[in-house]
Amino acid sequence: MKKNAGFTIIEIVVVLIVMSIIVAFAIGRGRVTSADLKVQTEVLKSQLRHAQARAMNDNMPWGIQTNSIGGSYWLFRYDTTTTTLTTIRLPGENANTVDLAAEGMSMTAGTYSFDDRGIPYYALYSGTPPGARITENRTVTLSKGSDNYAITITKNTGFIE
């Protein structure tokens, strides 16, 4: 009697195919998280630019404000004559507030506003808009897990990159 020991070539090939499918799925899932964060960073850049354009057209400060932990943000208009802050729905959003925490993301907390010439201002979360004119470039960081993306608001010009 002949004793058969070991695996056949077909068994080895099947195991390698199953392992490659599992690895491909795991790698693909890891990239989705980073892609979602990158997309949200680009969305926030366009929303900051939108606030800047509205401020330049309205002669009132407009900006983006976050809650104290940076889990959500919203667009606002600050009426300097009545000192009232009005929350306005961002273009393409379903609610006045964008909730980053629901997606497992957060951003640097604060108030990022612009005057009628598009010059950027900044205030801590508890500050009153428009805040103080920034004297150095300001970085807004979006985070999800260990991934981070930064948006830079340039002093004096308000260029957003």
Give the pLDDT score at 125. Answer: 61
Hey, what amino acid is at 28?
G
Q: Say whether pLDDT at 33 is over 70.
A: no
What is the percent of the chain where pLDDT is above 70?
Answer: 90
Provide mean pLDDT across the span 129-135. Answer: 83
| Conformational region of residue 110, where left means phi above 0, alpha means psi within -120 to 50, and beta covers everything else | left
Instruction: Let me know: does 116 contact 128? Beta carbons within 8 Å.
Output: no
Q: Is the peptide bond before 91 cis (omega within 30 degrees of 0)?
A: no
Q: Closest Cα to residue 76, out of 47, 100, 103?
A: 47
Q: Is 115 exposed, middle or buried (0-12, 13-18, 19+ CB in 10 A)?
A: buried
Element containing residue 65 per DSSP (H, E): strand 62-66
CATH number, span 9-153 = 3.55.40
For 99-118, the pLDDT digits (tens) are 999 889 999 988 899 999 99
| DSSP secondary structure code for residue 115 in this structure | -
Q: Which residue has the higher pLDDT, 77 or 35?
A: 77
Q: Say whether pLDDT at 151 is over 90.
A: yes
Instruction: Return the minimum-mean-pLDDT range out of 34-48, 123-137, 143-157.
Output: 123-137
For 40-66, the pLDDT digits (tens) are 999 999 999 999 999 999 888 999 998
Give the pLDDT score at 30. Answer: 57
Q: Say whether pLDDT at 32 is over 60.
A: no
Give the pLDDT score at 63. Answer: 93
